[in-house]
Amino acid sequence: MRALVAGGGGFIGSHLVDLLLGRGDEVVAIDSFVTGRRSNLSSAIGRTGFHLVEHDVTDPIPDLGDFDAVLNLASPASPDDFARFPLEILLVGSTGTRRLLDLAGDRGSRFLQASTSEVYGDPLSHPQGEDYLGNVDPVGLRSCYDEAKRFGEAMVSAHRRVLGTDTTIARIFNTYGERMAPADGRVVATFIEQALRGEPLSVYGSGNQTRSFCYVSDQVSGLVALLDSDVSGPVNIGNPTEITMRGLAETIIDLTDSVSTVATVPLPPEREGDPSRRCPDISLARAVLGWEPVVGLRDGLLVMIDHFRSVELSG
């Protein structure tokens, strides 16, 4: 298979590149490197069948040949990015998605849209199944990402209906693992970095808010199972084991043997609209893809902690 991975230099995108190359696919990765990092692709660069194109998919996409699959993972995704790059996020979610969809339609490729649990907003239904329509503030600080991803889903659905493009939509829930940047702003990377430095772990607000964390190898195996299927989605891809942020902080202190304490700090203003609970219902993924996550939180965290330690040691 020949695959185009937009956002191939990102956290999840680069793991997807490695999985596809590992099974013998040819992969072209496109990235603008606004938030993606070239270092995420160090194991792919130089490998047979891998090509890297530095390009912003909001600009017209050059002719890169035919593709069996087009995977759209291009977007900044950390809540810290929502304050830094709101216009870029809206543009890549709209114009970028449109350009990639047109390319897939022209070339007869299967198109996978990386959507998000953020389409559910601050959910009033728990756990979140794909039929829950969401509770999203259209003008709040998170709206650039939430609404861009909702618009993306609408665009994918219209392309499929009107032009017959072979599309699918994955709703990705919180994912963690190596290659998350230590300064990413997302909670797992932040807590591990703080624990390794012996600094207090910055639990925002009450710490009773929950998330459900999926290890990145599980996430990308779910995405590829969806790509290889004929399911149009949307399908939730995530790990349904739910934990409070206070519980996560305590677990990370324990696993790192850190002297750090848990510090409760007020929710920063740029985190306005922080969802209070989030947990995927993955019955659909289990039923139609035969997929479910296999890496437990403590095991995944230990691998990520080792990785952060080795990055710090190497400088």
| Largest Cα–Cα separation, the chain | 58
**Residue 26 near ligand UDP by CB under 6 A:** no
**Residue 279 near ligand UDP by CB under 6 A:** no
Cβ 64 to ligand UDP, closest distance in Å?
31
User: For residues 104 and 305, which CB has a smaller minimum distance to ligand UDP in the complex?
Assistant: 305
Pick the binder of ligand UDP from 174, 217, 239, 258 (CB under 6 A): 174
Footprint (CB under 6 A) of ligand UDP, residues 51-90: 79
Nearest residue to 248 via CA among 196, 181, 201 = 201
**Residue 119 near ligand UDP by CB under 6 A:** no
Identify the residue whose tokens are 């996978």. Answer: 112
**Residue 190 near ligand UDP by CB under 6 A:** yes
User: For residues 185 and 293, which CB has a smaller minimum distance to ligand UDP in the complex?
Assistant: 185
Sign, CA dihedral 186-86-35-110, equals: positive
**Residue 203 near ligand UDP by CB under 6 A:** yes
Q: Which of 120, 132, 145, 215 is catalytic?
A: 145
The token pair at 24 is 């013998």
> Per CB under 6 A, which region of 30-38, 163-171, 202-210, 291-299 contacts ligand UDP?
202-210
**Residue 5 near ligand UDP by CB under 6 A:** no
2-6 β-sheet, strand order: 50-54, 26-31, 2-6, 69-72, 110-116, 166-172, 235-237
Pick the binder of ligand UDP from 204, 240, 251, 307 (CB under 6 A): 204
**Residue 187 near ligand UDP by CB under 6 A:** yes
**Residue 274 near ligand UDP by CB under 6 A:** yes
Nearest residue to 7 via CA among 88, 74, 85, 102 = 74
Q: What residue type is 177 in one-letter code?
A: G
**Residue 239 near ligand UDP by CB under 6 A:** no
Alpha-carbon span 279 to 239, nearest angstrom? 8
Q: Is 204 one of the catalytic residues?
A: no
Nearest residue to 62 via CA among 50, 51, 47 = 51
User: For residues 89 and 203, which CB has a smaller minimum distance to ligand UDP in the complex?
Assistant: 203
Alpha-helical regions (H) of the chain: 11-22, 79-84, 86-91, 97-107, 143-163, 187-197, 216-228, 245-256, 283-289, 297-313
Q: Would you tell me which residues interact with ligand UDP (CB under 6 A)?
A: 79, 174, 185-187, 190, 202-204, 209, 211, 245, 271, 274
Give the catalytic positions in this structure.
Answer: 145
